[in-house]
Amino acid sequence: MKKMITDACAGSGVWYGNNDPRNVALRVKGVKQTNNTGEVRAVLQRATAVSPYVAMLTRSDSTYTIDGLCFHLRAWEDRGWIGVPNRTLFQVTAAKLRRHGNVVTFQWVKGHSGEVGNEEADKLAAIGASMEDNGLPDPELEIEDQFKINSAKLATMTQAMVYRGIKEQQGKCERDATEQNLDRIRASVTEVNGTAPSDAAIWRGMRNKDISRSARSFIWKATHKVYRLGNAWAGFGPEYASRVLCPKCGDTETMDHILLECGIPGRQNVWMLAEDMWRKKGYTWPSMSLGLILGCALYDPRDDENGRLPGAARLFRIIMSESAHLIWKLRCEQRIANGDDPDKWPSDDEIIGCWLYTINERLTLDRLATNPRRYGKKAIKKKIVLQTWSGTLDNEDALPRDWTMKPTGVLVGSDWIKRRPRGRHRVPH
């Protein structure tokens, strides 16, 4: 059995044998569709179709499904299914398997290892993901009373788990502003990746450890529109009227304006530096949007053979998040600390210095974090650090092959920076 996800559409495949009429490809129905949903749905399809009087052997490469049904099921039931993703599918599948009148066995097989059944199921799953409707009725999602568990064992509960259960019953209530930004992130990521991320994937991306903690906080708050900007000041009296408009451009100050439109020194320079560094790695700079900035952790660049580029994706997350956060910090310093005084605007050289310092700090942290003696299992793999920064360093040809342990002299290069005329308020073209 196999699953596949294509543009937020999950497909499942069940393969019995060559030219077997029971072979089936189906598209998973429902709003929340993930890889794991497709995996569990494939087992449910098999449990529904097979005769209850024969032994059932299911071979799959899905450790998620096998572990869930074989090892975690009792613990999930004891806690009342609180916090378990795909709980409905798991509950229905478990009930179907318990009604089976013969032995039920699962066997794990290694994926993409040439195992015929797994490869054929993979093909069926790909077909299912692209189907409009497979014509098969969905298995009944109602659970018989004898298999239904509506409560949790008090002895297994913790205060945190009880609280989570209460929150699940209350349901989520997203703010309109948050929903708007989630839709913008989804549209921007879909444009560059070709697939639409779920809300859960977007929030998970904002917690990506490749993004610094301060930048993660900024992205999270910007997505929720926590920062009071523009028209949010309109109802606070005439003394705050000046905060509605950008002092440089005269336009309403929004996060879009600050990060992508404002002519104040700093914004254009920072994005110029980020783009030049990205192009130095040999990649094409994507069209900028607020959605892509907030969803930068989800950007998935590929090579000519459609293979993933983990180093490039990691570098993009770093330079995009740090650059956006730096623009925000420069704006706050100018508006709050300097009182919008044009004479205190930073020069081009100061902005370049701030950006290089920020990026080199990340490079230094990466190098130090590769030390297994100090960080043990939490150490970053040298391979991913080398993939991330190679091609961007100063005098890289003179550095050793493994420069991660070099104590000094490893810095992001500045020879590629397009220098502007000296002085303040120079606007790059």
DSSP labels for 112-127? TSS-HHHHHHHHHHHH
Residue, of 209 and 26, whose pLDDT is higher: 209
Mean pLDDT score of the chain: 86
Least confident window among 39-53, 121-135, 163-177 = 121-135
199-206 and 213-223 helices, crossing angle to 10°:
140
Which of residues 36 and 192 earns the better pLDDT score? 192
Cα–Cα dist 275/392, whole Å: 12
Helices 348-369 + 310-332 axis angle, to 10: 140
**Tell me: the pLDDT tens digits for 357-407?**
999 999 999 999 999 999 999 999 999 999 999 888 888 888 888 888 776
- Which pLDDT score is estimated for 137? 53
Domain boundaries, the chain: 2-162, 178-398
Q: Is the pLDDT of residue 66 over 60?
A: yes
> Confidence band (pLDDT; 50, 70, 90) for 323?
very high
What local confidence, expressed as pLDDT, does residue 422 receive? 45
Would you state the pLDDT for residue 153? Answer: 92
Dihedral sign for Cα atoms in the order 261, 324, 284, 353: positive
| pTM (predicted TM-score) | 0.75
The pLDDT confidence band at residue 416, using thresholds 50, 70 and 90, is low
CATH of domain 2-162: 3.30.420.10
Predicted pLDDT at 312: 95
Query: Interior CA angle at 369 toward 368 and 370, to 5°?
Result: 90
* Percent of the chain topping pLDDT 70: 90
Q: Where is pLDDT greater, at 2 or 203?
A: 203
Of residues 92 and 408, more confidently modeled: 92
Per 3-state DSSP, the chain is made up of helix, strand and coil in percentages (nearest 5) of 55, 10, 40
Average pLDDT over residues 99-106: 92
Phi, psi of 14 (to 5 degrees): -125, 120
Inter-residue contact 356 to 413 (CB < 8 Å): no
From CA 183, how far away is CA 180, in angstroms rounded? Answer: 5
In this prediction, residue 425 carries a pLDDT of 44
Whether residue 91 has pLDDT greater than 50: yes
369 vs 172, more confident: 369
